Amino acid sequence: MAVESMSIATLFSNSGPLLRYATTVIALFIALGPSARGQEPNDDAAVQTDPASETDPGAEVETKEVQPFDFDPYRTLIWVASDSPRVCADTLRDDLQKVLDRDFHAVWRTKIEDAPMSVASMAMRVLSEVNFDTLAATDPVIAVKRSHGDAVRIRFAGDVGRYASSILTTTGRMEEIRARLAGDPDSPKNAWLRILHAIEGDAVALKDAWAKEDTEAILVSRGMAETLTEPEAKIIVPPITGQVIDAAEAYDKIFIVRIRTATSPMKVESVEFDTLMRYFGDTSQATVSSFNLLPEVVGATLRDVFAPVARIDDAGKSNAVGLVRASGLVTDKNSPALVDVGDVLVPMVRKDDRNGNPISIGPLDWAYLLAKELDGRRVKMDFHAGRAGGLQGRKNARTHRVGLRIRPRKDQTLLRLHAKGDPNQPLIGYEIYEKELEGKSMTFIGRTDWNGRLDVEPTDEQPLRLLYVKNGGAVLARLPMVPGHHEKMVADLGGDDMRLQAESYIRGVQNSIIDLLAIRELFKARIMMRLERGDLEPAEELLEVLRNQPTNERLANDMGKRQSEFIKAIGKNANQQRKVDEMFSVTREMLTKHINPKLVRDLEEAVIVAKENGGKLPPKSDEETDGA
C-alpha cells in the first residue's frame, strides 16, 4: 500500500537508472516520428481508409503492408481456361512459374489457378470480347428483397442466415455453390447455406418466384439480380471462391489464358485485365506443337500482353510526369516492367464515390501519352489529345490517373467518321492530314470513302500519328492515333456539310450583291443621260424598273430566314454556329454599305428637278462639273 500511494516523481527519484532509461526511450520515440508508431511517412505508403467500408465480422481480416508505388510489386492472378483436363493450373503451375520468374520474379506476386466455370465458359467462346461487366454479371449473389422486415440489418451473407428463413435457387446453382464454398460450412458466416433450397426449373422460374410474396431471397447471377425491380433487390455477396468482384479487389492484374488442345497445332491466347481501371487489353496469340512447350508459349503471351502502369503525379495541358510501378525492384534495364523512351501509353482516369465504387472509369477518348525522357524511376511524357484537359485536375484519394503502356499488334487501323449522334450518316470525302509531332507541317493522307472510312497504317518513324480532319478548308477534329492498336476506331464528329452549304449560299448572295451594284450604277447612268437630254418619259420608265430590283430589306429578310435554317440544322455545334454567324454578319455589312435606298432617292429628286425645268435637267454649273 505504501508503494501504491507513492507519487511517480518520488518513484523515479529513488530510481535514477530507471528514470534515465525511460527518458531515453521517450526521446527516441519522438525523434523517430510516425515510423516508430507503425506509420509510413512516405505519401506513396499512405493507407486510405473509407469510413463507409464495412467488413464481415465472421470473415478473416488480412492486413496488407503498403509499399511505396515504385517498390510495390504487382499482385497478379493467372486464370487458365482449357478444353482438356490434361492442361490445367496444376499441370502448368510449376513450369510456368519458372518461366515467368525470368522476367517478373521481383515485380510480380503471382497466383495461378483454373478459371472459374463462368469465366472459362466465356473465354472459350470469344476471349477478345470479354469485358468486366459481362464477367462480373456471372458472379453468384444473394438477392434479398428490400421490402423484407430485416433488410436494414442484413449486410453480409451470414446475416441472411440469421434474419431470413429461405433462399431459393436452382439445382445446378446449388451444386456449384457447395463446390466453391470458402471456409468452414458450419461457421457463422456460412449460416446462409443452411437455408438454401432448390426449386424446380431454371433461372426464369427463379425470377418468377421473386414476384411471390412469401419469397424472401434468391441466389442468382449478379446480372439477373440487378434487373430485379419489383421489389428492388439488396445484393449480398456470398463467401465463395472464384468471384470476379473479389478477384478484382484482391489483385492488380488478372490474366486469362485460353488453351485449345483440340486443334493442330494447339492454340494459346492470353489477355490482361487491369483491375484498377477495369480495362481489358489486346489479346496475344501463339501456336504450340507440344505439351512440353506449353509453359514457354504461355509465358511468352503473358509477357506480350503485360502493360506496365505509370501513375500520373503531375499533368499539364500537353505533358505529364509518371512514376512507374515496381520500377525500384527492377535490376535489368530490358525488363518488360519498365517504360522506355518512345513508348506510347493510354491515359486513364478513375473517379470513385465515397464507397470506392467508380463514378467514371476508363481510357480518355482520342488521347495518348508519348514517353520522351526518363528521370530515374519517373518518366516524362507528352500528352496528345483530341480535346484539351482530361488529365488535369485536383489530386485527391478518390481520383486515380494512370498510363498503361501499349504494344500495337495489328497491321493497320480502320478509321471511320460519322455525323454526331448518327452512325448511319457517314462523313464522305473528308480529308485526313497528318501533322508532325515536333513541327507544324501537315501531310495529306487520304479521303474517307462512301462509308466514311480510311485505312491508317503504322509508320517506321513513330508509332503515334497526329491526324487532323478537314472539310472545305476548315479543321473539324484532332485525332491522335496509334495505328495497329485497335482494329477499328470511330470518330463521332459534327458534320461540316451544313456549314459548307451556308458558305455556298453566302457566296451566292455576295455575288448577287456585286451584280446588283453594277446594275444599279448602270441604271443610274442611263436615267441621268436621258434627263440631261430631256427624255423625261423614258427616264421615268427606267426609274420604275430600278425600283423593282431587289432591295436591301428583301435581301436581308431572305438572309435572316436562311441563317435560322442553317443554325437549326447544325444543332449544338457551337464552333460551326460561330462560323456561320460570322459569314452572315460580314455579308450584311457588305449589303448595307452598297445596296441602300439613297441611289433611288437621288434619282427621284433628279426627275422632279427635270419636271420643274420643263422636262430637262438644267446644265451643271462649273463647280458641280468640277465636283463630279
Is it true that the peptide bond before 597 is cis, omega within 30 degrees of 0?
no
The closest of 356, 371, 359, 357 to 403, measured between CA atoms, is 371
pLDDT tens per residue across span 299-330: 999 999 999 999 999 998 899 999 999 999 99
- DSSP code, position 570: H
The closest of 522, 505, 429 to 469, measured between CA atoms, is 429
Per-residue pLDDT, 163: 92
* Yes or no: domain 140-238 corresponds to CATH 1.20.120: no
Query: Is 488 within 8 Å of 413 (Cβ atoms)?
Result: yes
Per-residue pLDDT, 15: 44
In a 13 Å sphere around the CA of 394, the CA atoms on its Cβ side amount to: 2
Instruction: Give me 135's grid cell.
Output: 464477367
Question: Within its chain, how far is the Cα of 102 from the centroid?
Answer: 34
By DSSP bridging, strand 74-82 and strand 253-260 are: parallel
Per-residue pLDDT, 622: 54
The closest of 303, 206, 180 to 253, measured between CA atoms, is 303
Query: Is 437 within 8 Å of 465 (Cβ atoms)?
Result: no
Instruction: Give me 4's grid cell.
Output: 501504491
Please tell me the pTM assigned to this model: 0.73
Residue with cell 511517412: 41
| The length of the chain, given as a count of residues | 628
Per-residue pLDDT, 366: 93
Residue with cell 489483385: 251
Q: Which fold has domain 70-134+246-305?
A: Rossmann fold (3.40.50)
Per-residue pLDDT, 447: 94
Where the chain has pLDDT below 70, the residues are 1-65, 494-497, 621-628
Per-residue pLDDT, 395: 79
> Which amino acid is residue 206, in one-letter code?
L
Question: Is residue 132 within a helix (H) or strand (E), and if so which, with residue range?
Answer: helix 132-136
Instruction: Give me 611's grid cell.
Output: 419636271
Q: How many angstroms separate the CA atoms of 361 and 326, rounded? A: 23
What is the full DSSP assignment across 423-472? Answer: EEEE-TT-EEEEE-SSS--EEEEEE--TTSEEEE---SS-S-EEEEEEET
| 271-282 core/surface letters (b: 16 or more CB in 10 A; e: else) | bbbbbbbbbbbb
Per-residue pLDDT, 417: 93
Residue 341 CB neighbours (<10 A): 12
Per-residue pLDDT, 115: 92
> Which amino acid is residue 144, in one-letter code?
V
* Neighbour-count burial of 499, counting CB atoms closer than 10 A to its CB (0-12 exposed, 13-18 middle, 19+ buried): buried
Q: Which fold has domain 309-405?
A: Thrombin, subunit H (2.40.10)
Per-residue pLDDT, 535: 86
Per-residue pLDDT, 382: 95
- DSSP code, position 11: H
The closest of 298, 259, 242, 255 to 82, measured between CA atoms, is 259
Q: How many angstroms separate the CA atoms of 445 and 501, rounded? A: 25
The closest of 567, 577, 565, 558 to 512, measured between CA atoms, is 558
* Neighbour-count burial of 572, counting CB atoms closer than 10 A to its CB (0-12 exposed, 13-18 middle, 19+ buried): exposed
Which CATH code is given to the segment(s) 413-494?
2.60.40.1120
By DSSP bridging, strand 358-363 and strand 319-324 are: unpaired
Residue 60 CB neighbours (<10 A): 9
Q: How many angstroms separate the CA atoms of 487 and 415, rounded? A: 9
Per-residue pLDDT, 4: 39
With H, G, I as helix, E, B as strand and everything else as coil, classify residue 188. Answer: helix
Question: Within its chain, how far is the Cα of 186 from the centroid?
Answer: 45
